[in-house]
Amino acid sequence: MNLPDPQAIANAWMSQMSDPGQWQSWFNMAPTTDANPLAAMMQDVGASVKPEAMEQLKNQYLQDFGDLWQEFLSGKSPDVADRRFTSSAWQGNPMSSFNAASYLLNAKFLNAMVDTVDTSSQQKQKIRFAVQQIIDAMSPANFLATNPEAQQKLIETKGESLTKGLANMLADMNKGHISLSDESAFEVGRNLATTEGTVVYENPLFQLIQYKPATATVHQRPLLMVPPCINKFYILDLQPENSLVRFAVEQGNSVFLISWSNPDQSLAGTTWDDYVDQGVIEAIHVVQDISGQDQMNMLGFCVGGTLVSTALAVLAARGEKPASSLTLLTTFLDFSDTGVLDVFVDEAQVSMREQQLKGGGLMPGRDLASTFSSLRPNDLVWNYVQSNYLKGNEPPPFDLLYWNSDSTNLPGPMFCWYLRNTYLENQLKTGKLKVAGQKVDLSSIEAPAFIYGSREDHIVPWMSAFSSMNILNPGKVKANRFVLGASGHIAGVINSVAKNKRSYWTNDKPLGRAAAKPQDGEAWMAGATENPGSWWPEWAKFLAEHGGKDVKPKAKPGNARYQAIEPAPGRYVKVRAD
């Protein structure tokens, strides 16, 4: 089935902003009627609703709607707990509160209908996701005619809020995305990605940044950081107070980092093998040359972790073991449970992408951004529709959301290989795949691993991140360490020690005779201890354990072979996808 594209929904919303009736006519009817579009979705996947379950739902819906209607006629405001409708403008207006309550009632029964669909679990998940996209889009808070907060501001400002809102909407339509932050407040290299460093190597695929040491001595073995190529590296180096790069430098590490290029047509034929061999492996060899060290601490974040693990397995097959330790942040090695992203991956969708892109082409960054926005549409789409367009507000400056809108393209062949061999077929952990001419055996990576997962991660479920404990160093699980952080995929990782927010969980109990036994995530969590603040100091200790002795840092970046090209953050990170 075709899944709703949230950007397409938003574009259609823009065209219907002044008249929500056409959009909402089907949604506000009883969701158990045949005219509801859920029936079309089910027909699309060859599914059906069990008749007895439908009859039960219909009776319950009629009873609940009757009770709601009686409350409205008696002048009693319905109890609406959803945070979108809790303001006095909603609660103090009987018609608005009734609209909100009836919307939530219909949403409840549409979701209940999904539970009764007789189809496979994967198809049911797809239907549930598609229905939720439409439910979120149809909120009465998203339309001027049914949003009392926007109407109130319209009156208070004598129409100025609507004028500003329309201007904001037209500006975003020209940009091709909804503004999540005041984009004029940030500039990469001025107040983002400002940790001092130098680009010491580049090829068409990446630049290598060497950061200036900040301590009198540094660990002998350097640290190479491999960020995801699906977005910009400066998520690891936003501002000084929340920069993981700066923190690593201040902890006495000689830090190198890959800054991936933002592919254009000249890289449209680039493959996964290229990212591994000409990307990560090339960076490893350059760091070895500059540092004079055969081994280094290595870090991979998200897709960067998958890439660096693949690269280390390829190098192991070639007889090289350059990692003294491996850190994986919210990374898949086992793709058995890919969470909500599973709705985007099946044979039909992967084959379609392969037909479009496998021979060359680009997966546009805006499409990738739209996909990730669809995972949290109320937070990343409709919240800003209401604020920016209906109320005429300017979004406040927020570095993380600025980064979120700074999209990156991906080469088609690389993207298609990644989709099929990992998300669709889960081949990476099998030992059967060949990359850069070598079989990928992740168990051949002998470096001790620090594995991090985020408890509310909707992109890499933490139990999937935990499964790497049993893939790396099999039979030597004591060599690995797992830390679980609070919050999600990004906010959990970027949990600065300066702000000391949230918490994290550790479980360092000795395993005894079970040391060679596969670990179970639920059992690990049952024995874990919650610790306040950032997990970063735990990671710093791990790096120090595997960083070798402390030595005096080199006075200049690079060496005779690899000389300074330009100051960090370099040119590549400043290239925009749009």
Model confidence at 330: pLDDT above 60: yes
Q: What is the dihedral of CA 463, 232, 215, 224, to 10 degrees?
A: 60
Listed in sequence order, the residues at least 6 apart from 156 whose beta carbon sits closer than 8 Å to its beta carbon are: none
The mean pLDDT value for 22-49 works out to 52
The mean pLDDT value for 522-538 works out to 95
The pLDDT, as a whole number, for residue 48 is: 67
In this structure, the answer to whether residues 127 and 226 fall within a common structural domain is no
Centroid of chain to Cα 17: 29
Half-sphere exposure of 500 (CA within 13 A, CB side): 2
- Domain final position from 157, 184, 217: 157
The pLDDT, as a whole number, for residue 57 is: 87
In this structure, the answer to whether residues 207 and 279 fall within a common structural domain is yes
In this structure, the answer to whether residues 253 and 340 fall within a common structural domain is yes
The mean pLDDT value for 469-488 works out to 88
Q: Residues 348-370: pLDDT tens digits?
A: 999 999 999 988 999 999 888 88
Listed in sequence order, the residues at least 6 apart from 291 whose beta carbon sits closer than 8 Å to its beta carbon are: 221, 222, 254
| DSSP letters for 83-128 | GGG-SHHHHT-HHHHHHHHHHHHHHHHHHHHHHTEES-HHHHHHHH
Query: What backbone phi and psi angles, to 5 degrees, belong to 405?
Result: -90, -5
The pLDDT, as a whole number, for residue 16 is: 43
The pLDDT, as a whole number, for residue 18 is: 38
In this structure, the answer to whether residues 86 and 224 fall within a common structural domain is no
The pLDDT, as a whole number, for residue 14 is: 42
Helix axes 94-115, 121-137, angle to 10 degrees: 170
Cα(519)–Cα(542) distance, rounded to whole angstroms? 20
Residues in the chain: 578
Given pLDDT bands bounded at 50, 70 and 90, which one contains residue 310? very high
Cα(330)–Cα(299) distance, rounded to whole angstroms? 11
Given pLDDT bands bounded at 50, 70 and 90, which one contains residue 41? low
Model confidence at 9: pLDDT above 70: no
Per-chain mean pLDDT for the chain: 89
Position 505 in a domain: no
Q: Which domain holds residue 94?
A: 6-157
Position 170 in a domain: no
Model confidence at 528: pLDDT above 80: yes
Catalytic residues: 302
Name the more confident of 396 and 17.
396
- Domain final position from 127, 157, 187: 157
Token pair listed for 405: 């809108």
Cα(168)–Cα(162) distance, rounded to whole angstroms? 10
In this structure, the answer to whether residues 205 and 257 fall within a common structural domain is yes
Q: Residues 104-114: pLDDT tens digits?
A: 999 999 899 88
CATH number at residue 469: 3.40.50.1820
Model confidence at 32: pLDDT above 60: no
Q: Residues 502-516: pLDDT tens digits?
A: 999 999 875 544 444
Given pLDDT bands bounded at 50, 70 and 90, which one contains residue 43? low
In this structure, the answer to whether residues 261 and 309 fall within a common structural domain is yes
Q: Residues 50-98: pLDDT tens digits?
A: 778 888 888 998 999 999 999 888 888 888 889 999 999 999 888 999 9
C-beta separation of 3 from 133 below 8 A:
yes
The pLDDT, as a whole number, for residue 29 is: 44
In this structure, the answer to whether residues 150 and 220 fall within a common structural domain is no
- Domain final position from 104, 136, 157: 157
The pLDDT, as a whole number, for residue 121 is: 81
In this structure, the answer to whether residues 118 and 231 fall within a common structural domain is no
Cα(527)–Cα(471) distance, rounded to whole angstroms? 21
Listed in sequence order, the residues at least 6 apart from 563 whose beta carbon sits closer than 8 Å to its beta carbon are: 200
The pLDDT, as a whole number, for residue 419 is: 95
Q: Residues 375-399: pLDDT tens digits?
A: 889 998 999 999 999 999 999 999 9
The pLDDT, as a whole number, for residue 36 is: 55
Position 223 in a domain: yes
Burial of 216 (C-beta count, 10 Å sphere; 0-12/13-18/19+): exposed
Half-sphere exposure of 569 (CA within 13 A, CB side): 26
Position 501 in a domain: no
Given pLDDT bands bounded at 50, 70 and 90, which one contains residue 40? low
In this structure, the answer to whether residues 113 and 233 fall within a common structural domain is no
Model confidence at 324: pLDDT above 70: yes
Token pair listed for 240: 């000084």
The mean pLDDT value for 131-158 works out to 95
Domain total of the chain:
2
Q: Which of 74-83, 161-170, 172-181, 550-559 has the lowest mean pLDDT?
A: 74-83
Given pLDDT bands bounded at 50, 70 and 90, which one contains residue 236? very high
In this structure, the answer to whether residues 129 and 220 fall within a common structural domain is no
Q: What is the dihedral of CA 499, 503, 509, 515, to 10 degrees?
A: -90
In this structure, the answer to whether residues 129 and 219 fall within a common structural domain is no
Model confidence at 4: pLDDT above 60: no
Q: Residues 179-202: pLDDT tens digits?
A: 999 999 999 999 999 999 999 999
In this structure, the answer to whether residues 254 and 306 fall within a common structural domain is yes
Position 382 in a domain: no
Q: Provide the 3-class DSSP secondary structure of residue 211.
A: strand
Name the more confident of 555 and 329.
329
Neighbours of 353 (CB within 10 A): 17
